[in-house]
Amino acid sequence: MVPKYMAPGLWLIGIGPGDLDHMTSKAKRIARGCKKRYLEGYTAVLPSEQEALLEELLGPWERLMRPSVESPEALLVEAREEAIALLVVGDPMQATTHIDLEARCMEKGVGFEVVPGISATSLAISLSGLQSYKFGRQATLPYPYGENLATSPMKMILSNLDSGLHSLVLLDLDPTGLGLDLPTPMSPTQAVSILERMSEVILEEAEGMEILGNIGEWNGILLSDIGTSRQMVRSATLEEIGKIEDGLVHTLIIPAEMTGNEKEAFERRLIS
């Protein structure tokens, strides 16, 4: 049963990755019971055909982009008086922006509740066939901004490899870094090219990094459109992954040394 009223406040509701079938019954019930619904539109992507189902499933909604979420004064004014749902693809508290919202609500005396959703990162690890306890710190691979090329993601991957840990690499969605436009997911070709450029910069800065001279030969697992009907999980060298042109939203895993069971799982996912 849909409640007639929800308590005033900001309700961060995870809608799962890619397919609204991943929403829990609780998430649907609370979203329907809120006075207004906003879809957070820049930290993740909901396929267009799923967006078309949102109103039928939950009720009318509007899209909020980065400025309205990171400077949420108007949102908090609404949430002080009424139940406001902020729908987030995946799990709401995976993004720093959403953690900051909690702090702002506490400062302003605005109610704040979280309804967890299935995380794309946990799904990626499960689908990879690799052991979850062998993953190190995850990295986000950003688009270069002009001449600025961050090398910290590659350094994170190298640190994980040195510790025998796999790396989960999230690919950027915003070439501008402003969060104003609809997401433009990074392609596998762009991702591998950026990793190669990072390796070149690090090689120029430091000696003893021979491992970076052949990253095209590194193993990788590409997870495309996970949580949707178009989901694909493919393993190959990074050179081969860089040639993949299909899919929309991608996540990349760089495995460290694999156990026997992990190697078998990797081989089962090889591009044929």
* 234 pLDDT above the threshold of 90: yes
What is the pLDDT at residue 252?
Answer: 98
- Residue 2 counted as domain residue: no
Return the pLDDT at 1.
42
**Are 196 and 114 members of one domain?**
no
pLDDT at 207: 66
Band of the pLDDT at 147, cuts 50, 70, 90? confident
Task: Give the model's confidence band at 2: pLDDT under 50 very low, under 70 low, under 90 confident, else very high.
Answer: very low
The string of DSSP letters for 103-145 reads HHHHHHT--EEEE----HHHHHHHHHTS-GGGB---EEEPPPB
- Strands 219-224 and 232-237 turn out to be antiparallel
Query: Average pLDDT for residues 134-162, to the nearest whole number?
Result: 92
CA angle at residue 96 from 24 to 165, to 5 degrees?
85
Between CA 100 and CA 78 the distance in angstroms is 18
Q: Check whether residue 243 and residue 110 sit in a common domain.
A: no
CA-derived radius of gyration, the chain = 20
**Over the stretch 78-130, which tens digit does the pLDDT of each residue have?**
999 999 999 999 998 887 788 899 999 999 999 999 999 998 899 999 999 99
| pLDDT tens, residue by residue, 174-209 | 887 777 778 889 999 999 999 999 998 888 887 667
Between the alpha carbon of residue 223 and those of residues 38, 64, 256, the distances in Å are 28, 27, 17
Q: What is the mean pLDDT of residues 147-154?
A: 90
Token readout for 121 is 């990162």
pLDDT tens for each residue of 14-37: 998 888 999 999 999 999 999 999
* 129 CB-side CA count, 13 A: 20
Which of 253, 248, 254 shows the shortest CA–CA distance to 44?
248
Classify residue 129: in a domain, yes or no. Answer: yes
Q: Is residue 80 part of a domain?
A: yes
Specify the pairing of strand 219-224 against strand 250-254.
antiparallel
Structural domain includes residue 4: no
Question: Residue 263: which domain range?
Answer: 121-268
User: Quick check: is 3 in a domain?
Assistant: no
How many domains does the chain divide into? 2
Q: How high is the pLDDT of residue 208?
A: 62
Same domain, 254 and 196: yes
β-sheet bridge partners, residue 39: 63, 87
pLDDT confidence bin for 46, thresholds 50/70/90: confident
* φ/ψ (deg, to 5) at 27: -60, -45
* Antiparallel, parallel or unpaired: β 139-141 and 36-40: unpaired
Query: Does residue 250 share a domain with residue 144?
Result: yes
CA 208-145-68 angle, to 5 degrees, is: 130
Q: Are residues 102 and 141 in the same domain?
A: no
Same domain, 106 and 138: no
Of the listed ranges 57-71, 98-112, 201-215, 244-258, the least confidently predicted one is 201-215
Are 141 and 251 found together in one domain?
yes
The CATH number of whichever domain residue 127 belongs to comes to 3.30.950.10
Q: Does residue 183 lie within any of the structural domains?
A: yes
Q: Among 118, 136, 169, where does a domain finish?
A: 118
The answer to whether the pTM exceeds 0.85 is yes
135 in the same domain as 112: no
Dig out the tokens for 246 from the structure. Answer: 């299909």
| CA 271 from centroid of its chain's CA atoms | 24
- Residues 125, 114, single domain; the answer is no
Q: Which two tokens stand for residue 163?
A: 């510790």
Domain match, 64 and 167 both: no
Across the chain, mean pLDDT equals 91
Separation of alpha carbons 31 and 73, rounded Å = 21
Asked if residue 113 belongs to a domain, the reply is yes
